[in-house]
Chains A and B, each alone.
Chain A
Amino acid sequence: MTALQIIFLIVSALLLVSAFMVVTVPNLVRAALWLIAALFMTGVVFVLLDAGFLAVVQVVVYIGAIAILFIFAVMLTRRVMTDSGPQTNANWWLAGLFSLALFGGISWILLGWDGANASAPAIDPGLDTVTRLGTELVNPDAFILPFEVASVLLLAALIGAVVVAWERD
């Protein structure tokens, strides 16, 4: 077992623990903090996969923007320190069923996939992954359509937020 594999196992274990804590901790702000830990560990997994750009973007977007707004909303809407409501509602068994089915499905697909046991090919150190990613995103033969669709979707959300917050006289 190489050092990289040991690090990967530790990081994945931490990731799973934090993800589990997100849904089990009764205090909502603490759950959000565990969510930050989980997102950070996901970033570390990206680093282990030689995807530095994705790792950094993961931290900027998910921790820097989304998780902080999460905490902010929780702090504004709930009583600050003394919050321990029920954590489940009547549909908990349905959610559990779906998660089990999803987990089973993904495991089944991965077990049948022969790439699961192959080791990753070494990346050419001269390859500039950031430039490559950028050109692929605007390449008509590659990802320009999903990229533009996502942009339009985000723009629509932005305009929607303005319309919702608009104070009409």
Chain B
Amino acid sequence: MGFFSDPISFLADWLTALMTNAGWPEGLINVIITFLGVFVVANFGMLFVIFLIWLERKLAARMQDRLGPNRVGPYGLMQTIADIVKLFTKEDTTPEGADKVVFNLAPIMAVLSVLLIWAVIPFAEGWIGTDLNVGVLYIVAVGSIGIVATLIAGWSSNNKFALLGAFRTVAQLVSYEVPMVLSLLIPVLLAGNMTNIPGLGVESGMGLGSIVRAQHNWYSIFFLMAPLAALIFFISSIAEVGRTPFDLLEAESEIVAGFHIEYSGAKFAMIFAAEFLHAFTISVLTMTIFFGGWQGPGDSIPLVGWAWFMVKSLIVYFLVAWVRTTLPRIRIDHMLNYNWKFLTPLALVLLISTALVDRIVVDAVDISMTQGQIVRTLSHLAANLLIAWATIAILRRRQAARPTRQPVASPRPVARPPEPETTADAPAA
């Protein structure tokens, strides 16, 4: 295995051989290699944030007809580094009456909850921290630690606005977890029915590595089989990150900065970095679970697989940034209604229909053959389109039944120069 096709495994093998020759015990070598792996993955995440912040600022600027950062370094690339230096040299304040231990714990937990997700993400063939057989559930579990972090950040600050942010956190994040988990169950179900296919390497429906391997061809990616589930997952995970249009927990114009209002300096930087990294992580998850992960032409070389991983993730990240810069903030009652009256019922219907359709198809055709797989994809796609059509029809009927509001007044121009006197009737001066 050459360095240029698979640098990670090459370096790991080389280091292992080096330490074995030095006569170190095997257990110690394993611990060191594992630790180095954790170190590399965590630092990849944290350092990549520097680039992501620059990228998002540039994208937002272009969409808002501005230039964005363009002073420090080429294309403003060094701007984020300058910002980091600024943040770390700022005074580290703790408000009067705050619960100091909890206050300092919250930013650490925020970063931790995002970085822990990266442990189960497959970067390329064989590049995965640990392919847990309950990977999808693990992601949900780790995400709930993030909710706790936001909650205790808001509570421990001893600030009314921070507490309001924390209240909104619970209302929003706990609610949107429901459709997110339901939509995650659909790819789990689809991958779980492929565990019997020999040679594919799908071991369990819930492991992320298995989910990627289940989408082994362009016609078997889960976006084609479950487009609505992908959409629900995308929307609800944006809500989980708490970005526009779901940024009620830190709405600047309403509650100043919400749960992180009292944080300054390095602790603010941690919360900020966690948010950006979380936004990229949901892009990675959407891509891994619904768009085939690292797979693409030439993915047998791990470095090429990693390139596919990055390209696909950044495309989804572009969508996330696009949504953030173009949509206004949603009102809190609309936000909750949208979740409980639209996303959750739709996700439940999708889950039941996917289970039924998949059972029928898997029993009827042989999905290990190409034709069988195409039939399976097409029938799922048809079921999804039918559900989408029915949903739109129901929404149209309900909208028609809703009483239309009468306008209070007709719009009139605010400032207009007085119209010149018409000279037809007026007597000449």
Q: Which residues of A contact B (CB under 8 A)?
A: 27, 29-30, 33, 36, 52-53, 56-57, 59-60, 63-65, 67-69, 71-72, 75-76, 80-81, 128-131
Contact = CB atoms under 8 A, between A and B. Distances in A.
Contacts of B142: 59
Contact of B204 (A27, A75, A80, A130): A130
Nearest to B141: A59
A60 B134 contact: no
Interface of B: 97, 99, 102, 132-134, 137-138, 140-145, 147-148, 151-152, 155, 158, 163, 166-167, 170, 174, 177, 203-204, 206
Nearest to A59: B141
B148 A63 contact: yes
Given A30-B99, A56-B137, A75-B166, A64 B144 contact: yes
Please indicate which of the listed interface residues B97, B145, B155, B177 has the most CB atoms of chain A within 10 Å of its own CB: B155
B147 A52 contact: no
B147 to A, nearest CB: 6
Q: Is the interface of A mostly helix, strand, loop or mixed?
A: helix
A71 B204 contact: no
Contact of A56 (B99, B134, B177): B134
A155 B391 CA distance: 26
Contacts of A63: 141, 144-145, 148
A36 B148 contact: yes
Contacts of A60: 137, 140-141, 144
A109 to B, nearest CB: 32
Given A59-B141, A68-B151, A81-B99, A130 B174 contact: no
A30 B147 CA distance: 16
Given A71-B155, A130-B206, A30 B137 contact: no
B362 to A, nearest CB: 16
B102 A57 contact: no
B177 A75 contact: no
Please indicate which of the listed interface residues A56, A57, A63 has the most CB atoms of chain B within 10 Å of its own CB: A56
11 contacts: A33-B102, A53-B137, A56-B137, A63-B141, A69-B174, A71-B148, A71-B170, A75-B166, A76-B167, A80-B163, A81-B158
Contacts of A52: 132-134
Contact of B155 (A57, A64, A75): A75
A126 to B, nearest CB: 10
Please indicate which of the listed interface residues A27, A52, A81 has the most CB atoms of chain B within 10 Å of its own CB: A81
A30 B99 CA distance: 9
Q: Is the interface of B mostly helix, strand, loop or mixed?
A: helix
B132 A64 contact: no
Please indicate which of the listed interface residues B97, B148, B204 has the most CB atoms of chain A within 10 Å of its own CB: B148
Contact of B158 (A36, A64, A80, A130): A80
Contact of A29 (B132, B141, B155, B167): B155
A75 B148 contact: no
Interface pairs A-B: 6 shortest CB-CB: A64-B144, A59-B141, A56-B137, A60-B141, A72-B170, A56-B141
Contacts of B148: 36, 63, 67-68, 71
Contact of A64 (B141, B152, B166): B141
Nearest to A36: B148
B177 A64 contact: yes
A136 B177 CA distance: 27
A53 B140 contact: no
A129 B133 CA distance: 9
A27 to B, nearest CB: 8
A120 to B, nearest CB: 20
A131 B204 contact: yes
A162 to B, nearest CB: 12
Nearest to A52: B134
A53 B132 CA distance: 10
Contact of A68 (B97, B140, B141, B144): B144
B147 A68 contact: yes
Contact of B133 (A76, A80, A130): A130
B392 to A, nearest CB: 28
A75 B144 CA distance: 18
Nearest to B160: A80
A75 B97 contact: no
Contacts of B158: 80-81
B140 A64 contact: yes
A57 B136 CA distance: 11
Given A56-B141, A68-B174, A81-B99, A130 B134 contact: yes
A65 B174 contact: yes
B204 A53 contact: no
